């Protein structure tokens, strides 16, 4: 299970302040703590903290890389911001470009551009692609799978290894009216997405989005993560500081026989 740690995001007030004050230490500290907590990747998202998104993502990437070699997940809807981040990314450590839809009303080729950027960056850089197209986010299972199939076939067409492809079936806040059916739709979609190619694409979700606005955030995130792992989820953008969540990842992997049980299985997984 690859956990992409979510905290270096300008939407969080401490990160926003650090960006405004150009305070590297806060960012470097978060990078280290999330790595120690078991992060496989560190998400890097400028958020709304700065007008100059390209310059800011570069500052974030460079600041993190000064003290930490955990691969980074460059997070922006804008290809130009991703491209700016890529210029300074140490791609030899690996990396992810997060994220692109299949296409957009005003940009039919956005997925192609993400795949090209990842290809140019080197063999260890992957792409997170959302099951979303010019019509928006599908609300049902079938359209999610159909879009995922188009994403996979585009990747194959461009000779992009599907093991570098992460499909995100888009988790919506469960509290939004009529959204309670979505978790089940997502699980059903994942059951099908994993058969789209062999080897299967990775699957990821922005986990914390599910519990937005609820008063049981951690519990909802934890339970859904365990459910989704049993449907083939092998990656998530999540809160590595939630120790119980990380323990659930370790336990799920053990229960699915992906890790050999030992009495110290929780500790070993974290390390």
Partner 1 sequence: MPVPQVVESFAGSVNRVTLGATKDDGGTRNSTVTVGGAKNVVYGGSAEDAGETPVVAMDVLDSKPTDWPDALIEPYKDVIDSPADWAKKCVEEFGAEMICIKFEGIHPDKGDKDADHAVKVTEDVLKAVAVPLVLWGCGNDEKDNQVMPKVSGAAKGEKCLIGAVTEDNYKSLTAIALADGHFLITQAPLDINIAKQVNILASDMGFPLERIVTFQSTGALGYGIEYAYSIQERQRLAALAGDKMMAMPAICDVGYEAWRAKEAKLEDAPGWGGAADRGPMWETATATCLLQAGVDIIRMRHPRAVATVKNFIDQVWKSNS
The smaller minimum CB distance to partner 1, of residues 12 and 269, is found at 269
260 binds partner 1 (CB under 8 A): yes
> Rounded distance, CA 203 to CA 14, Å?
29
d(CA 76, CA 53): 9
State which residue, 156 or 266, has the beta carbon closest to partner 1: 266
263: exposed, middle or buried (C-beta count within 10 Å: 0-12, 13-18, 19+)?
exposed
Q: What is the nearest approach in angstroms of partner 1 to the Cβ of residue 19? A: 36
Q: Using the rule CB under 8 A, is 264 a contact of partner 1?
A: yes
| Beta strand ranges found along the chain (DSSP E) | 2-5, 41-44, 72-75, 95-100, 125-130, 165-168, 202-203, 235-238
Q: Which is nearer to partner 1, 255 or 268 (CB)?
A: 268
Q: Per rule CB under 8 A, is residue 262 in the interface with partner 1? A: yes
Select from 73-81, 133-141, 231-239, 258-266 the region that touches partner 1 (CB under 8 A).
258-266
- Pairwise CA distance, residues 87 & 199, whole Å: 30
Rounded CA gap, 196 and 112, in Å?
19
Q: In sequence order, which residues have a C-beta less than 8 Å from that of residue 190 and are 6 or more positions away?
A: 169, 203, 228, 231, 232, 233
Is there a contact between 140 and 148 (Cβ–Cβ < 8 Å)? no
Residue among 223 and 266 whose Cβ is closer to partner 1 = 266
CB of 185 to partner 1, least distance (A): 31
The answer to whether residue 268 forms part of the interface with partner 1 (CB under 8 A) is: yes
Give the side-chain half-sphere CA count within 13 A for 153: 6
Binding track over 227-256 against partner 1, x by CB under 8 A = ------------------------------
Query: Which single residue is written with the structure tokens 């993400």?
Result: 114
- Which one of the spans 11-19, 88-96, 131-139, 262-270 is the region binding partner 1 (CB under 8 A)? 262-270
Does residue 267 bind partner 1 (CB under 8 A)?
yes
Scanning 19-27, 150-158, 230-238, 261-269 for contacts with partner 1 by CB under 8 A, the matching segment is: 261-269
Q: 10 Å Cβ neighbour count for 228?
A: 24
Q: Give the residue, chosen from 40, 67, 77, 259, that forms a contact with partner 1 under the rule CB under 8 A.
A: 259
> Binding of partner 1 at residue 261 (CB under 8 A)?
yes
List residues near partner 1 by CB under 8 A: 258-264, 267-268
């Amino acid at each position: 299970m690859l956990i992409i740690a979510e905290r270096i995001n300008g939407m969080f007030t401490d990160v926003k302040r650090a960006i405004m004050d150009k305070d590297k230490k806060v960012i470097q500290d978060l990078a280290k703590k999330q790595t120690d907590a078991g992060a496989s990747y560190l998400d890097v998202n400028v958020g709304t903290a700065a007008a100059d998104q390209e310059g800011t993502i570069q500052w974030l990437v460079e600041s993190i890389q000064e003290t930490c070699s955990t691969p980074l997940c460059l997070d922006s809807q804008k290809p130009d911001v991703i491209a700016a981040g890529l210029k300074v990314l140490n791609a030899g450590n690996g990396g992810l470009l997060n994220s692109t839809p299949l296409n957009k009303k005003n940009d039919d080729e956005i997925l192609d551009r993400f795949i090209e950027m990842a290809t140019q960056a080197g063999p260890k850089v992957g792409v997170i692609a959302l099951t979303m197209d010019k019509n928006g986010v599908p609300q049902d299972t079938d359209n999610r799978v159909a879009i995922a199939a188009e994403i996979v076939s585009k990747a194959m067409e461009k000779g992009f290894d599907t093991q570098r492809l992460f499909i995100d079936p888009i988790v919506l806040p469960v509290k939004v009216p009529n959204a309670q059916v979505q978790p089940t739709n997502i699980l059903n979609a994942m059951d099908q997405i994993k058969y789209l190619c062999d080897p299967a694409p990775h699957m990821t979700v922005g986990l914390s989005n599910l519990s937005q606005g609820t008063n049981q955030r951690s519990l909802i995130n934890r339970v859904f993560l365990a459910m989704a792992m049993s449907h083939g989820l092998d990656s998530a953008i999540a809160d590595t500081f939630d120790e119980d969540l990380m323990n659930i990842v370790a336990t799920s992997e053990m229960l699915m026989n992906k890790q050999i049980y030992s009495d110290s299985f929780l500790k070993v997984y974290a390390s």
